[in-house]
Amino acid sequence: MQRALVIGASGGIGTAIVNQLATRGVDVTGLSRKRDGLDVTDMTSVDRLLVAQTGPFDLIFVATGILAPNGDSPEKSLDQIDGARMAEIMAVNCIGPALILRHVPRLLPRKERAVVAVLSARVGSIGDNRLGGWYAYRASKAAANQILRTAAIEIGRSHRDAAVVALHPGTVETRFTRNYPADSKVKPEAAAENLLRVIDDIGPAQSGRFFDWAGKEVPW
């Protein structure tokens, strides 16, 4: 791996991914709202920053997302569903990655191995949903997974050595998980190591699939 593009580079996981890649000697380009004004819900903002990028990148890592607007908690029951809040979560977690993926084919090498990794979440798995709750967040991640799966099919037609995958990082110690028990979380640095270890083993045969931090496949 020589060049990487990390989108969402100022978040907990994004920052750790950037640092881990830099330690490996990878030339890393990071984009974020904090530093670059990237708004993944605004097509003009996404286009402005991604059109300016010149590939090819061996790795494109998308680490954007929210659990709930304004630091709120996810819904626990149907009567807590709010349309405006749900629309905001869908805009960030689903439409945002879709707007980014529009630019990905141009930024990948045509004939060399490359990986596009988008952070997802196990709670977005329909097959793995046994607890219920978290309606908007679950739905947004499930929708993002479908977009990623569809993009993997299209990208695979023109970039046969590329893999497009969804990754579940585990429960990572960030501001999103500040109310979780400490013993259930891992540090962002450990999460980044785990995710990059999985990415190192990803090839075209794994494209369009969903893996957790340990490399185990997650059901859609």
DSSP string, the chain: --EEEEESTTSHHHHHHHHHHHHTT-EEEEE-HHHH---TT-HHHHHHHHHT-----SEEEE----SSGGGPPPPSSGGG--HHHHHHHHIIIIIHHHHHHTTHHHHS-SSS-EEEEEE--GGG-STT--S---HHHHHHHHHHHHHHHHHHHHHHHH-TTEEEEEEE--SB-SGGGTTS-GGG-B-HHHHHHHHHHHHHT--GGGTT-EEETTSPBPP-
As a whole number, mean pLDDT of residues 120-131 equals 94
Residue 31: the pLDDT is 98
Mean pLDDT of the chain: 94
As a whole number, mean pLDDT of residues 142-146 equals 98
Residue 184: the pLDDT is 66
Please tell me which residue, 176 or 213, carries the higher pLDDT value. 213
Is the pTM for the entire model greater than 0.85?
A: yes
Residue 181: the pLDDT is 52
Alpha-carbon Rg for the chain in angstroms = 16
pLDDT tens-digit profile of 72-113? 889 999 999 999 999 999 999 999 999 999 999 999 999 999
Task: State what percent of residues in the chain have pLDDT above 90.
Answer: 90
Residue 179: the pLDDT is 58
- pLDDT for residue 19 is more than 60: yes
